[in-house]
Chain A
Amino acid sequence: MGMWGIRVGPVLGLAAGLLLGASPLAFAASESPADGVYADHIDWGVIMDLSGPTSASQAVWTAGIKDYIRKVDDAGGINGRKINLLVEDERFDASLDRIAFEKLTGQTPVLGISGMGNASAQVALASTIRRGKVPVLGSYTTTKAVTEPPTPMFYGGFCGYKEMAQVGVGALTERLKLAAPKVVTVHLDTAGGKEYADFVNAAAMRHGGSSKAVPIKANAADATAQVLEIIASKPDFVAVHGTATTPVLLMRAMQQYGLPTPVFGMAYIGTPIVYNSLPPEAGSRYSFVSCFTPGGTDDSAGMKAMTESADKFGHSAMKDDINYVAGWVIGQLVTEAIAKAGPDVTREKLVAMLSKGFSIDTKGLSAPVSYTPEDHSGIALLKPFGFDYATKRFTGSGTYDEARKYEQ
Chain B
Amino acid sequence: MLPQVLFSGLALGSIYGLVALGFALVFKATDVLNFAQGMFVVVGAFLAVTAGTQLHLPFALTLMFIVVAAALIGAAIQALLIRPLTGRSMLSIIMVTIALSIVLRALIEIIFGPQPRALTTPMPTGVFIVEGVRISQLHMLAAGVSWLCLGLFALFFRFTTFGLQMRATANGHEAALVSGINVDFVNRVAWAIGSVLAAIGGLFLAQLQLASTELEGIGLLALPAVVIGGLQSIPGAIIGGLLVGLIEQLASSYVSPRSADIFVYTLLLLVLMVRPWGLFGQRELGRV
Please give the residue numbers on chain A whose beta carbons come within 8 Å of chain B beta carbons, in ascending order.
51-53, 55-56, 189, 214-217, 219-226, 228-229, 231-232, 244-245, 248-249, 252-253, 255-259, 273, 276-279
Complex Cα–Cα for A407 and B8 (A):
39
| Pair B126/A258 contact, Cβ less than 8 Å | yes
A223: B residues at CB distance < 8 A: 209
List B residues 238-288 near A (Cβ within 8 Å).
248-249, 252-253, 256-258, 260
| Pair B4/A228 contact, Cβ less than 8 Å | yes
Q: B19 contacts the other chain (Cβ, under 8 Å)?
A: no
Complex Cα–Cα for A245 and B118 (A):
9
Highest count of chain B CB atoms <10 Å: which of A189, A215, A217: A217
B115: A residues at CB distance < 8 A: 55-56, 244-245, 273
Query: Given the known A-B contacts A273-B115, A276-B118, A277-B210, are A221 and B217 also in contact in the complex, defined by CB atoms under 8 Å?
Result: yes
| Pair B258/A221 contact, Cβ less than 8 Å | no
Complex Cα–Cα for A216 and B258 (A):
8
Complex Cα–Cα for A278 and B209 (A):
11
Other A-B pairs beyond A56-B115, A256-B139, 11, CB < 8 Å: A52-B114, A215-B258, A217-B258, A220-B257, A221-B215, A248-B210, A249-B210, A253-B208, A256-B208, A258-B129, A258-B136
Q: B212 contacts the other chain (Cβ, under 8 Å)?
A: yes
| Pair B114/A221 contact, Cβ less than 8 Å | no
A51: B residues at CB distance < 8 A: 114
| Pair B210/A224 contact, Cβ less than 8 Å | no
Q: B25 contacts the other chain (Cβ, under 8 Å)?
A: no
- 20 A-B pairs (CB sep. < 8 Å): A215-B257, A220-B214, A221-B209, A221-B214, A222-B209, A224-B12, A225-B252, A228-B249, A228-B252, A229-B253, A248-B118, A248-B210, A255-B125, A257-B134, A258-B126, A258-B136, A259-B134, A276-B118, A277-B117, A279-B120
Q: B227 contacts the other chain (Cβ, under 8 Å)?
A: no
A52: B residues at CB distance < 8 A: 114
| Pair A221/B257 contact, Cβ less than 8 Å | no
Q: Which residue of B lies closest to A224 (CB)?
A: B8
| Pair A277/B118 contact, Cβ less than 8 Å | yes
B139: A residues at CB distance < 8 A: 256
Checking B1, B118, B137, B205 against A228 with a beta-carbon cut-off of 8 angstroms, the contacting residue is B1
Complex Cα–Cα for A259 and B134 (A):
9
B256: A residues at CB distance < 8 A: 215
B125: A residues at CB distance < 8 A: 255-256, 279
Complex Cα–Cα for A214 and B256 (A):
9
A222: B residues at CB distance < 8 A: 12, 205, 208-209, 218
A216: B residues at CB distance < 8 A: 257
Complex Cα–Cα for A147 and B205 (A):
42
Query: Given the known A-B contacts A248-B116, A279-B120, are A253 and B209 also in contact in the complex, defined by CB atoms under 8 Å?
Result: yes
B77: A residues at CB distance < 8 A: none
| Pair B212/A221 contact, Cβ less than 8 Å | yes
| Pair B1/A226 contact, Cβ less than 8 Å | no
| Pair B249/A252 contact, Cβ less than 8 Å | no
| Pair A257/B116 contact, Cβ less than 8 Å | no
Complex Cα–Cα for A397 and B106 (A):
42
Q: Which residue of A lies closest to B127 (CB)?
A: A258
Q: Which residue of B lies closest to A226 (CB)?
A: B257
Complex Cα–Cα for A216 and B256 (A):
9
CB distance from B225 to the nearest CB of A (A): 15
Complex Cα–Cα for A56 and B136 (A):
30
List B residues 56-73 near A (Cβ within 8 Å).
none
Query: Given the known A-B contacts A52-B114, A225-B249, are A245 and B4 also in contact in the complex, defined by CB atoms under 8 Å?
Result: no
Q: B94 contacts the other chain (Cβ, under 8 Å)?
A: no
| Pair A257/B136 contact, Cβ less than 8 Å | yes
Q: B176 contacts the other chain (Cβ, under 8 Å)?
A: no
Q: B5 contacts the other chain (Cβ, under 8 Å)?
A: yes
Complex Cα–Cα for A256 and B208 (A):
8
| Pair A257/B127 contact, Cβ less than 8 Å | yes
CB distance from B32 to the nearest CB of A (A): 25
| Pair A245/B212 contact, Cβ less than 8 Å | yes
Q: Which residue of B lies closest to A276 (CB)?
A: B118
Q: Which residue of A lies closest to B218 (CB)?
A: A221
Complex Cα–Cα for A209 and B269 (A):
44
Complex Cα–Cα for A270 and B197 (A):
36
| Pair A53/B114 contact, Cβ less than 8 Å | yes
Q: Which residue of A lies closest to B217 (CB)?
A: A221
B126: A residues at CB distance < 8 A: 258
| Pair A221/B253 contact, Cβ less than 8 Å | no
Instruction: Give B208-228 as 1s and 0s: 1 = Cβ < 8 Å from A's Cβ atoms.
Output: 111010110110000000000
| Pair A219/B8 contact, Cβ less than 8 Å | no
B249: A residues at CB distance < 8 A: 224-225, 228
Checking A189, A221, A228 against B210 with a beta-carbon cut-off of 8 angstroms, the contacting residue is A221
Q: Which residue of A lies closest to B261 (CB)?
A: A217
| Pair A245/B257 contact, Cβ less than 8 Å | no
Complex Cα–Cα for A116 and B56 (A):
39
Q: Which residue of B lies closest to A273 (CB)?
A: B115
List B residues 128-165 near A (Cβ within 8 Å).
129, 134, 136-139
CB distance from A368 to the nearest CB of B (A): 32
CB distance from A79 to the nearest CB of B (A): 39
Q: Which residue of B lies closest to A278 (CB)?
A: B118
Complex Cα–Cα for A228 and B271 (A):
29
A259: B residues at CB distance < 8 A: 134
Instruction: Give B109-121 as 1s and 0s: 1 = Cβ < 8 Å from A's Cβ atoms.
Output: 0000011111010
A225: B residues at CB distance < 8 A: 248-249, 252-253, 257, 260
Complex Cα–Cα for A226 and B8 (A):
12
| Pair A256/B252 contact, Cβ less than 8 Å | no
A219: B residues at CB distance < 8 A: 214, 217
Q: Which residue of B lies closest to A274 (CB)?
A: B118
B257: A residues at CB distance < 8 A: 189, 214-217, 220, 225-226
| Pair A224/B252 contact, Cβ less than 8 Å | yes
Checking A53, A232, A252 against B209 with a beta-carbon cut-off of 8 angstroms, the contacting residue is A252
Q: Which residue of A lies closest to B45 (CB)?
A: A221
Complex Cα–Cα for A223 and B252 (A):
10
Complex Cα–Cα for A110 and B115 (A):
30
CB distance from A92 to the nearest CB of B (A): 10
B208: A residues at CB distance < 8 A: 222, 252-253, 256
